[in-house]
Amino acid sequence: MRTAHRLRRPSRSTRGLALAGVTVALFTSACSMQDAVCGGGEYPVLAVGSAGSACVSDDEEPPKGYARYPEGKVPEHVDDKWYTYWQTRTLDENGRTIEIPEEN
């Protein structure tokens, strides 16, 4: 003799918890939704004496004409604090921060 199994509908509290979990996941992942300056396994470098930047593999040194960003001032996401800061500045050949001259 077979017994019929009846599927139970999720209770309101179960649905509410599921909805809350999805909402929390969306809010906590907001930072990861920003465009990263470089891909995984890379770090950003700054053009020395002029505007520009590039990404370099973690196991390589910056190419000639580029330098690592100063510690604590590395842009991580497009339009973050340091990304914006370095739009108008660069490093000179001595590692000092300088303003990038505006083009006429």
Is residue 11 included in any domain, yes or no?
Answer: no
Residue 6 lies in a domain: no
Domain presence at residue 78: yes
Does residue 31 lie in a domain region? no
Domain that holds residue 59: 42-99
The model's pTM is: 0.65
**What is the spatial distance between Cα 85 and Cα 83, in angstroms, rounded to a whole number?**
6
Q: Is residue 2 assigned to a domain?
A: no
| Count of domains for the chain | 1
56 domain residue, yes or no: yes
Residue 54 lies in a domain: yes
Strand 97-99, strand 66-68: pairing? unpaired
pLDDT band with cut points at 50, 70 and 90 for residue 29: very low
- 99 has pLDDT over 80: yes
Least confident of 16-20, 49-53, 55-59: 16-20
Residues paired with 47 in a beta bridge: 66
